[in-house]
């Protein structure tokens, strides 16, 4: 058991050495739609889709800059204060107001794709140099006794090719960042139907406590720099949206009023990533050299001959 635990700790430490921690402050707009069903009738939206400003900050921990968990703190405004005086006519005579801004906590997992470049990279340059030498000697002498000497040398020839280091990559790129998770709102307001004012009842529609969230981020950068991120986010409320009921007496008759709500919203946000991680040292580019040498060859040929001269 102990060796297995040691192996797991070693693997986790290896991932942590190449992990990157990112803080992403974001600002944008949220469109929330809350619908209400009274006495199990069809759902209707008292306020329709409502826009509101949204702020968020995400903290993610990416293993090898590709995937990892995240947590987020964001604003939310999906509650609708639904007020009515007559329980028997709650769908016709009512007032609806937007609730206060809330803070929600999110957590999940995010995956980052490889960069998608907008242009091609510049090719690496090469340099070539060559050296050639050649020598030749010839000597000839004439006379009654003469000889001839011929000398030839084939010099060495060298060809040198050096591959230069590739240029610094300054291309613009984009990466996709899909994510999925859950959200939670602590300290939600009352969700039942209660008497808020004399002869006025109130139901807080869209008062969810848990939800499922998903997002698709588009991260842009240039070279090794991450510049900004644009994300599309979706939320679907789940918890605390079950049916609520209220019992009243009208004209000595007991009346039960039921209400239920559902909520969903989507938002668009823009942020600037701030990365914290151990930067790896850039590998040194070693120049390669290829040479072809021909051995020096020398040959000498000496020819000597005598000729007899006779005088007159």
Residue 122 binned pLDDT confidence (cut-offs 50, 70, 90): low
Distances (CA, A) of 133 to 12, 165, 283, 285, 295: 61, 31, 38, 32, 12
Do 105 and 241 share a domain, yes or no? yes
Do 200 and 116 share a domain, yes or no? yes
pLDDT computed for residue 276 by the predictor: 82
pLDDT computed for residue 153 by the predictor: 53
Rounded CA gap, 76 and 42, in Å? 26
Do 190 and 131 share a domain, yes or no? no
pLDDT computed for residue 132 by the predictor: 53
Task: Residue 147: give the domain boundaries.
Answer: 126-163+296-304
Q: Let me know if residue 4 belongs to a domain.
A: no
pLDDT computed for residue 271 by the predictor: 97
pLDDT computed for residue 251 by the predictor: 81
Q: Let me know if residue 33 belongs to a domain.
A: yes
Do 113 and 40 share a domain, yes or no? yes
Do 238 and 133 share a domain, yes or no? no
Q: Let me know if residue 210 belongs to a domain.
A: yes
Distances (CA, A) of 86 to 92, 95, 201, 243: 9, 12, 8, 19
Q: Let me know if residue 285 belongs to a domain.
A: no
In this structure, are residues 87 and 257 in contact, taking their beta carbons and an 8 Å threshold?
yes
- How many structural domains compose the chain? 2
Listed residue (188, 206, 191) closest to 97, CA to CA: 206
Do 141 and 268 share a domain, yes or no? no
Do 146 and 266 share a domain, yes or no? no
Listed residue (243, 235, 121) closest to 184, CA to CA: 235
Output b/e per residue, 170-206; b: 16+ Cβ within 10 A.
Answer: eeebebebebebebebeebeebebeeeeeeebbbbbb
pTM confidence score = 0.71
pLDDT computed for residue 240 by the predictor: 92
Q: Let me know if residue 9 belongs to a domain.
A: no
Q: What is the DSSP string of 93-149?
A: SEEEEE---EEEEEEEEEE-PPPEESSPPPPPPEEEEEEEEEEEEEEE--SSEEEEE
Do 48 and 98 share a domain, yes or no? yes
- Mean predicted confidence (pLDDT) in 281-297: 47
- Mean predicted confidence (pLDDT) in 292-311: 47
Alpha helix positions (H), the chain:
2-17
- Mean predicted confidence (pLDDT) in 41-60: 94
- Greater confidence (279 vs 75) lies with 75
Q: Let me know if residue 68 belongs to a domain.
A: yes
- Mean predicted confidence (pLDDT) in 233-260: 92
Do 221 and 261 share a domain, yes or no? yes
Pairing of the two strands 172-184 and 200-205 = unpaired
pLDDT digits (tens, 9 = 90+) for 202-233: 999 999 999 999 999 999 999 989 999 999 99
Report how far apart the first and last C-alpha atoms of the chain are (Å, whole number).
119
Do 135 and 184 share a domain, yes or no? no
Question: Radius of gyration (Cα) for the chain, nearest Å?
Answer: 42
In 3-state terms, what secondary structure has residue 292?
A: coil
Q: Let me know if residue 289 belongs to a domain.
A: no
Do 190 and 216 share a domain, yes or no? yes
Do 44 and 142 share a domain, yes or no? no
Q: Let me know if residue 214 belongs to a domain.
A: yes
Output b/e per residue, 102-129; b: 16+ Cβ within 10 A.
Answer: bebebebebebeebeeeeeeeeeeeeee
pLDDT-wise least confident of 14-28, 148-162, 270-284: 148-162
């Amino acid at each position: 058991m102990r060796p297995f635990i040691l192996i797991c700790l070693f693997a986790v430490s290896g991932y942590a050495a190449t992990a990157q921690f990112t803080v992403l402050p974001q600002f944008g707009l949220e469109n929330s739609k809350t619908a209400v069903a009274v006495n199990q009738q069809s759902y209707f939206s008292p306020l329709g889709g409502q826009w509101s400003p949204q702020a968020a900050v995400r903290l993610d921990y990416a293993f090898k800059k590709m995937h990892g968990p995240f947590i987020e703190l964001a604003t939310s405004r999906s509650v609708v204060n639904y007020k009515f005086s007559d329980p028997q006519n709650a769908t016709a005579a009512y007032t609806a107001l937007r609730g206060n801004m809330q803070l929600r906590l999110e957590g999940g997992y995010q995956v980052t794709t490889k960069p998608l470049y907008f242009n091609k990279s510049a090719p690496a340059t090469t340099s070539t140099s060559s050296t050639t030498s050649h020598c030749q000697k010839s000597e000839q002498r004439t006379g009654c006794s003469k000889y001839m000497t011929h000398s030839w040398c084939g010099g060495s020839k060298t060809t040198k090719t050096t591959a230069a280091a590739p240029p610094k990559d300054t291309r613009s790129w984009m990466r996709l960042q899909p994510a999925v998770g859950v959200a939670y709102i602590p300290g939600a307001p009352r969700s039942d139907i209660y008497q808020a004012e004399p002869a006025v009842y109130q139901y807080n529609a869209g008062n969810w406590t848990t939800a499922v969230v998903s997002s698709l981020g588009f991260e842009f950068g240039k070279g090794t720099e991450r510049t900004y991120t644009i994300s599309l986010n979706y939320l679907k409320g789940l918890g605390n949206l079950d049916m609520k009921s209220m019992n009243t007496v009208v004209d000595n008759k007991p009346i039960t009023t039921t209400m239920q709500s559902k909520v969903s919203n989507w938002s668009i946000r823009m942020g600037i990533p701030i990365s914290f991680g151990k930067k790896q040292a850039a590998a040194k580019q070693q120049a390669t050299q290829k040479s072809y040498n021909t051995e020096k060859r020398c040959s000498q040929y000496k020819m000597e001959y005598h000729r007899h001269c006779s005088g007159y």
